[in-house]
Structure 1
Amino acid sequence: MGVVSQDAIKELEARMKEVEEPLKITFQNVHQGYLVETLMRFLKAREWNVNKAHRMLVDCLNWRVQNEIDNILAKPIVPTDLYRAVRDSQLIGVSGYSREGLPVFAIGVGLSTFDKASVHYYVQSHIQINEYRDRVILPSASKKYGRPITTCVKVLDMTGLKLSALNQIKLLTIISTIDDLNYPEKTNTYYIVNVPYIFSACWKVVKPLLQERTRKKVQVLQGCGRDELLKIMDYASLPHFCKREGSGSSRNSDNRNENCFSLDHPFHQELYNHIMQQSLTNEPDELIKQGSFHVDVPEPPADRTEIAKTIESEFNKFENGKRLSDSLNGLRINGA
């Protein structure tokens, strides 16, 4: 780390000591004792500009206080059937750890439908997973490996990606905006697997729009990515959709304990039990009520909006091309 970087960290740390008490309290939940690493994340997100990083961090803390994010792990999605429906349509889970101790998050991008609950439940669930990662999983991994572990790796499965994904762009933009502004630089590498043609076409035009540090994190792998992923993790930690070449992804698996998207997977069982226990500890005399936890969503930055519009445009081009191809095929068949 260069002298300039160290000076930036020291200056940002000095500024954070001056924030008001409510922000200091929530800041502890953000850094979990790894102050320098947290300051570095926000500085990286703002190209090491101290003023911009300070503004970003203070805005993040205000967002946490105003939306009671510190208490979100005590707000279960109930009944359990509703939460299972969220899990079945928002495909995300933890399959294991890399050899360096980073948790491996698996995300079923292509087959997530986000059609079993309101937007608020999906946003609530996403933030809960973020908070559980940052407050439980990463501190536990840091303790186990004897060094700060503050990031994860993500394996994105594109199996089943269709034009209907256009309906999800608004929700995905909301989620990615929350991550960009409040959980920056938490992902070490994005591995993209089971890539269909429609993704490849979009990637060509979206890639130049990404910031350089983001582009460097993205690796598009051949097939299910098994061979490449085995270089950084053991077979047992591979997401279920990477364990057999050509197997693709599925919402269901013969072994539900292996399907890291399923509510029956140990990760989701531990997460849900943690949230239920926290809710009883915080409000022992109150019945757990059904209802989503509403969170204010900040406006997406201009570059995020441009990326969403570009994806939508490419999907529409693909759809129009497909319609033309179908029409031509129909003419050939009828004229045969």
Structure 2
Amino acid sequence: MGVGSQDAIKQFQAFIDQVEEPLRTTFQNVHQGFVTATLMRFLKARDWDPYKAQKMLVDCLNWRVQNEIDNILSKPIVPADLYRAVRDSQLIGLSGYSREGLPVFAIGVGLSTFDKASVHYYVQSHIQINEYRERIVLPSASEKQGRPITTCIKVLDMTGLKLSALNQIKLLTIISSIDDLNYPEKTNTYYIVNAPYIFSACWKVVKPLLQERTRRKIQVLPGCGRDELLTIMDYSSLPHFCRREGSGSSRHSESGSENCYSLDHPFHQGLYNHIKQQARLREAVEPIKQGSFHVDFPVPPDDEVEIAKTIESELHKFENGNDV
């Protein structure tokens, strides 16, 4: 770390020390005891400009306060059948850990349909997984490793990606914007597997639009990526769709305890039980309102809007050419 970076951290630290309530309290849920690492994440996201990083962090803290993000882990998606429907159509889960101790999140990009609930439920679910990762998963991994674990690995399965993805671009842009603006630099590496031709065509035009630090994080692996991923994690941590060459992915291709998307998987059981427990504690203070937890959607950054338009344009080319 250079002198300029150290000066930026000191300047940022001096600024954050002056932040008052209620921003100070919500910042504790952001840093989880790792203040310097958190400041570095926001600085990296703004190319080490302390003034831009300060604005980004303050905007994030205000978003958290205005939308009661600190309480989102006490807001269950009920009934359980609705939550199961969300899980079956928004495919994401924790498959295990890398050998360095980083959580491995699997995401079924191609087979996620997002068609079983309103947009607000999917956004609520996504933020709950983010907050559970920040407050429970990463602190637990840090304790186990005896050192700070503040980032994760994501394995993106493109099996099933097709033109229907056009219907998901708006929602995915909302989720991506929430992550970029409020959970910056939380992913160490993105591994893309089972990529069909339609992805490869889109990737060629999208890749040049990405910032360099983002491009460096993305690795497109051949096939299901099993052999490459086994260099950084044990077989037991591989997402189920990476476990045998040519197996592809499925919502129910493995039993509930092995398919990390499933509500029956230990990760989702732990998350769901945690939310129910927090809801019971909160219910002793005030009644729990039923229905989705509405969150203000951020305005996507210009670069994300451009990327979304580019993807949409490429998919329309396929649609018009009947290539898929």
TM-score category by the smaller chain? Answer: over 0.9
Unaligned 5+ runs, structure 1: 326-336
Matches of 1:70 and 1:246 in 2, distance apart?
Answer: 42
Match of 1:154, SS state, is: strand
Matches of 2:182 and 2:65 in 1, distance apart?
Answer: 12
Shift of 1:289: 4.3
The total of aligned residue pairs comes to 324
Does the Cα contact within 8 Å between 1:79 and 1:290 map onto a contact in 2? no
Shift of 1:285: 6.5
Alignment-derived partner of residue 129 in structure 2: 129
Matches of 2:254 and 2:272 in 1, distance apart?
Answer: 22
Alignment-derived partner of residue 331 in structure 1: none
Alignment-derived partner of residue 37 in structure 2: 37
Matches of 1:84 and 1:170 in 2, distance apart?
Answer: 23
Query: Partner letter of residue 281 of structure 2?
Result: T
Query: Partner letter of residue 34 of structure 1?
Result: F
Match of 1:21, SS state, is: coil
Unaligned 5+ runs, structure 2: none
Query: Partner letter of residue 57 of structure 1?
Result: L
Normalized against structure 2, the TM-score is what? 0.98
Matches of 2:163 and 2:248 in 1, distance apart?
Answer: 18
Q: Residue deviations 1:282-324, cap 9 Å, x none?
A: 122766543000000110011000000000000011111226x
Alignment-derived partner of residue 230 in structure 1: 230
Instruction: Please say if 1:2 is aligned against 2:33.
Output: no
Shift of 1:4: 1.1
Query: Partner letter of residue 10 of structure 2?
Result: K
Alignment-derived partner of residue 315 in structure 1: 315
Shift of 1:20: 1.7
Match of 1:271, SS state, is: helix
Alignment-derived partner of residue 151 in structure 1: 151
Alignment-derived partner of residue 100 in structure 2: 100
Query: Which of these two proteins has the greater Rg computed from alpha carbons?
Result: 1
Shift of 1:19: 1.3
Match of 1:198, SS state, is: helix
Match of 2:22, SS state, is: helix
Alignment-derived partner of residue 18 in structure 1: 18
1:319–1:263: structure 2 CA closer, same or farther, 3 Å change rule? same
Identity value in percent? 81
Match of 1:304, SS state, is: helix
Alignment-derived partner of residue 201 in structure 2: 201
Matches of 1:19 and 1:138 in 2, distance apart?
Answer: 25
Alignment-derived partner of residue 290 in structure 2: 290
Alignment-derived partner of residue 165 in structure 2: 165
CA RMSD, 1 decimal: 1.1
Alignment-derived partner of residue 332 in structure 1: none
Query: Partner letter of residue 71 of structure 2?
Result: N
Shift of 1:39: 0.2
Shift of 1:253: 2.4
Shift of 1:254: 3.8
Does the Cα contact within 8 Å between 2:240 and 2:254 map onto a contact in 1? no
Matches of 2:286 and 2:18 in 1, distance apart?
Answer: 37
Matches of 2:149 and 2:161 in 1, distance apart?
Answer: 32
Alignment-derived partner of residue 328 in structure 1: none
Does the Cα contact within 8 Å between 1:193 and 1:222 map onto a contact in 2? yes
Alignment-derived partner of residue 78 in structure 1: 78
Query: Partner letter of residue 44 of structure 1?
Result: K
Does the Cα contact within 8 Å between 1:78 and 1:289 map onto a contact in 2? no
Alignment-derived partner of residue 90 in structure 1: 90
Matches of 1:222 and 1:32 in 2, distance apart?
Answer: 37
Matches of 1:117 and 1:149 in 2, distance apart?
Answer: 33
Query: Partner letter of residue 114 of structure 1?
Result: F
